[in-house]
């Protein structure tokens, strides 16, 4: 059974509006992180402040939750998924660069797989040594920002971590869906132009 789309897009103008909102939210989050960095000017103060910022965005509804219950828009601002995605990019993936670890596409895939596995506990993760070293750094950063914790020698997602996973999963689905919508509109334009 095919899932309903996260966001209904019926025209090129609607697609442009949605992508504009995505960009606006992403830029706003970057500005918030910069403000936190300027206000704290100290890693010991920055990490708790950034952790609180991530928790603030993560607690808001995901795109899936909005699509299932549109009335949520009367209670919450739409688009927190973009904020969570930007924060993970800044705090975890960009943070790994500070540690001189490259967060390659493979590492990003493994990170998402790690979150999913911690969410349901089961599958093993395999990767090359460099990816595993990078993953260790990502785990350390994730623990610092409250996404996961270590309990009795096992990693587990926090409540924020579960929310982050849902937002990241929706972000990946959103990208796929918007790509399909874009392709559909290009095909319609080509057909209308007689190509």
**Residues 118/157, Cβ–Cβ less than 8 Å:** yes
Confidence of residue 55 (pLDDT cuts 50, 70, 90): very high
pLDDT at position 95 is 73
pLDDT at position 44 is 84
Confidence (pTM): 0.81
More confident: 109 or 6: 6
The mean pLDDT of 155-175, rounded to a whole number, is 92
- Helix or strand holding residue 138 (H, E): helix 129-144
- Tens digit of each residue's pLDDT (9 = 90 or more) over 102-158: 556 666 777 777 777 777 765 555 555 666 677 788 888 899 999 999 888 788 899
Q: If we measure between CA atoms, which residue out of 65, 39, 70 comes closest to residue 52? A: 39
Phi, psi values for residue 78, rounded to 5°: -75, 140
Question: Three-class SS of residue 31?
Answer: helix
CB atoms within 10 A of CB 107: 22
Helical ranges in 41-104 per DSSP H: 43-58, 63-68, 80-87, 95-98
The mean pLDDT of 65-78, rounded to a whole number, is 87
The mean pLDDT of 182-186, rounded to a whole number, is 89
Confidence of residue 21 (pLDDT cuts 50, 70, 90): very high
pLDDT at position 80 is 92
**Residues 49/35, Cβ–Cβ less than 8 Å:** no
Q: Enumerate residues 6+ apart whose C-beta is below 8 A from 49.
A: 36, 39, 40
Question: Three-class SS of residue 30?
Answer: helix
**Residues 132/91, Cβ–Cβ less than 8 Å:** no
Question: Three-class SS of residue 100?
Answer: coil
- Average pLDDT value for the chain: 84
36-60 b/e with 16+ CB inside 10 Å = b? bbeeeeeeeebbebbbebbbebbeb
Q: Which two tokens stand for residue 103?
A: 């967060």
pLDDT at position 106 is 62
Confidence of residue 99 (pLDDT cuts 50, 70, 90): low
Rounded to an integer, what distance in angstroms lies between the CA atom of residue 6 and that of residue 153?
37
pLDDT at position 50 is 93
């Amino acid at each position: 059974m095919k899932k309903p789309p996260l966001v209904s897009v019926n025209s090129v103008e609607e697609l442009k509006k949605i992508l504009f909102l995505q960009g606006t939210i992403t830029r706003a989050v970057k500005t918030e992180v910069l403000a936190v960095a300027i206000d704290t000017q100290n890693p010991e103060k920055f990490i708790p402040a950034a952790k609180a910022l991530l928790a603030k965005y993560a607690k808001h509804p995901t795109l899936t939750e909005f699509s299932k219950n549109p009335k949520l828009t009367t209670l919450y601002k739409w688009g927190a998924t973009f904020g969570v995605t930007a924060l993970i990019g800044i705090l975890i993936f960009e943070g790994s660069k500070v540690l001189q670890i490259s967060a390659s596409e493979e590492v990003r895939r493994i990170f998402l797989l790690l979150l999913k596995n911690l969410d349901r506990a089961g599958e093993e993760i395999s990767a090359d040594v460099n990816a595993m070293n990078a993953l260790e750094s990502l785990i350390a950063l994730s623990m610092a920002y409250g996404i996961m914790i270590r309990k009795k020698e096992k990693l587990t997602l926090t409540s924020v971590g579960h929310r982050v996973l849902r937002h990241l999963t929706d972000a990946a689905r959103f990208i796929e869906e918007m790509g399909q919508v874009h392709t559909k509109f290009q095909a319609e334009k080509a057909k209308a132009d007689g190509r």
